[in-house]
Structure formats: C-alpha cells, structure tokens
Amino acid sequence: MKKLTLLFVSLAVLFTGCNDTKKQETKQEPKAKARTYTLTMATTWGPTLSPLIDSAQNMARYAETMSNGRLKIRVDASNKHKSPLGILDMVKGGQYDMGHSASYYWKGKDIAALPFTSMPFGMTAPEQYAWFYEGGGLELMQKVYSKHGLLSFPGGSTGVQMGGWFKEEIKSLEDLQGLKMRIPGFAGEIMAKLGVQVTNIAPGELYTALDRNTIDALEWVGPSMDIGMGFHRIASYYYTGWHEPASEMQFLINKKTFDKLPKDLQEILVLTIRTAAYDMYIQNYDMNAKAWKKMKAEHPNIQVKTFPKEIMDEMKKANAELRAELGAKSPELKEILDHQDAYMKDVREWTEMSDYLYIKNNL
C-alpha cells in the first residue's frame, strides 16, 4: 500500500510538471511593436476643392488602412503651406515627402514635364491611362522626374475639360480678334496665335473679372468645378473641349523618402496612389453629370457650342507649329510627344469602333 501511494504521488508530480512545461511552451513572448512611418504631402489645392483635394486625402486614408496603421500621411492643403505652385520644389528639397499637383505646372522648370497632364487634341482619359500603365508612358515620366530626385505617378483625371465660358457666341476667327480671355498654359499660347488677348487671373478673382468685363471669356474645368464658381450666371455660351482632353493630376514622391520605406509599404504606397487616382476620375465624372443637370435646369439659357471648323483648323495648325518649336528645343519633349502620338494612333481606332460609334449609333 505504501509503495502504491508513493507511485501515485510520483505520477501526480510528473503530471503537474508536464502541465507546467506545456504552459511555458505555449506562452508567447510579446511581439515588438511594428515601426510607424509618417510622411507629409503638400497639395496645390485648397481644402474644399473637390475632387482634386479628395484624391490626396483618399490616398492617405487608403494607405493607412492597408498598412494597418504603419504608414500615415499628413495632407496639407495650399492654405497651410501657402505655396500652391511650389509643390515640385518643396518635395524635391525635402520640405515635404510627397506632393499632389499637375505636371504641366512645371513646364518652366522642365518642359518635358508638360505632356504628362494633357495635350491639345490628345488622348482621352481611358486612352491616356492605358498609355501610362500599358504603353510605356509611366516609364517616360519616371525618366523625366528622376533628374529631380523624384518619382511621379498619375494622380486623378478630370477627363475632358470644357473649352470655356463666353459672353458672346464665337462664329468666326474675326470674333476672336482682341477677345480678352483667361486661358493659361499651352492652350493660351495657341489662342494667342489666333488673336486672343490671353491673360491669367487668380481663381478667386475670375468671377468678378468676368462680371465686370475685365475679361470676355474664360476657361476653367468642367461642370463639376465650374458650378461652384458661378460662371454660368454671367456667360451663356459654353464651348466644348479641345485643349485638355484628359487632364491628369500627379502624385510626386521624394525618391530618398521612398527608398527608406520597407518593400511592402512601397508597394502599398504605389497601389493606393493608383486606386485614388482612378477613384477621382470616377468621382469627377459623376460630379460633372450632376452639376450639368443642375446648371441646365436653373439656367436654361445656357447654350452648348462647338467652335466652328475654321477655328478648329487654325487651332490645330497653331498647335502643330508650337509643338514643333518646343520639340526642336527639347529632344526629350519631342520623344515623349512622338511616343504619345504613336500610341494614340494605335488605340484611337478602337476608341472610335467602341465608344464613339456606340454613342453615335444610339443617340
């Protein structure tokens, strides 16, 4: 009996020891807290300028969610940093890690940056997205921006921008002579060749300038953003687009900042940029349709017009001349423009067969 009792005691001790060992084996050491990376982004846009500011804010939100909080991005609107057209320099110099703007703003610093936003009589938004991501456009853009120590990615498209608001109908080339119009950039240079007195006025002053006849016409964006500016209350003629058929915004990233991120966060950053950019295109398309419906209902006097053929022909001629002049000065710009033209030639036949003929035959 004594031997049996000792046996039970020994087994009990052994069993308890085994349980303690199992508990020790299953007890996990606390994991080290994952490092958090916080980046800063400056935008050209004010805090309420939808959908442009939305693209930057959505991208930051997507990145934080997908990284489980490891990648945070603080977005500063232009009212915060006070330099809406200084984005490239601030990201290049390291004051900000990222930027959201438009590539054609930098044509004075690097003319080769011009085509990555949109070119007159160029590609539509779907065609241009295909060029960027399947046709070699993104590689050309990285080549241009690598000289500045930057990465650049498509940042959201407004699609076709309207040709502008005019107080008087434009029936001939003579009607453009001496016309005072706000239309910046490359399109402004084309209009100047046709006799227009081109001016550039700050956005906050445009309504007053049009209302007080300081200018006779202006180009802004499209219904989605024009409606808030109120131009339709002053000018009755709304002309269809030609100069910015696929205006693409831009995300800029400081290359040194990007290289310091872990590979998975680099991938998340690029993926969320692509998602936010296309989301903006979808958002703006919807906003355009709703805004135009509202404009038309409240101001039935608005007349949608297309410039006469003689004007369009002269615009195309001036466009070709200016492109040739710029291309002669910059072989890099010529390479990009030729690349876009070749891709558009290939893809346009499908655009005509699909979207154009579908709409034409079902009106």
Q: Count CA within 13 A, CB hemisphere, residue 283.
A: 17
Is 105 a domain residue? yes
pLDDT tens per residue, range 222-234: 999 999 999 999 9
Is 352 a domain residue? no
CATH of residue 232's domain is 3.40.190.10
Same domain, yes or no: 63 and 112: yes
Could you tell me the pLDDT band of residue 13, with boundaries at 50, 70 and 90? very low
Beta sheet of 180-182, edge-to-edge order: 197-199, 180-182, 217-218, 164-166, 237-239, 303-305
Q: How far apart are CA 113 and CA 2, in angstroms?
A: 95
pLDDT tens per residue, range 253-310: 999 999 999 999 999 999 999 999 999 999 999 999 999 999 999 999 999 999 999 9
Running DSSP on this structure, what letter comes out for residue 231?
A: G
Q: Looking at 259, 287, 315, which one is the last position of a domain?
A: 287
Whether the pLDDT of residue 10 is over 50: the answer is no
Decide if 111 contacts 329 (C-beta within 8 A): yes
Number of independent structural domains in the chain: 2
Structure confidence at residue 201 (pLDDT): 84
Is 325 a domain residue? yes
pLDDT tens per residue, range 90-103: 999 999 999 999 99
**For the chain, percent of residues with pLDDT exceeding 90:** 88
Same domain, yes or no: 191 and 261: no
CATH of residue 139's domain is 3.40.190.170
Structure confidence at residue 6 (pLDDT): 41
Same domain, yes or no: 230 and 324: yes
Structure confidence at residue 345 (pLDDT): 97
Quote the domain boundaries for residue 187: 161-243+301-329
Q: What value does the mean pLDDT take over residues 27-42?
A: 80
Q: How far apart are CA 270 and CA 153, in angstroms?
A: 8
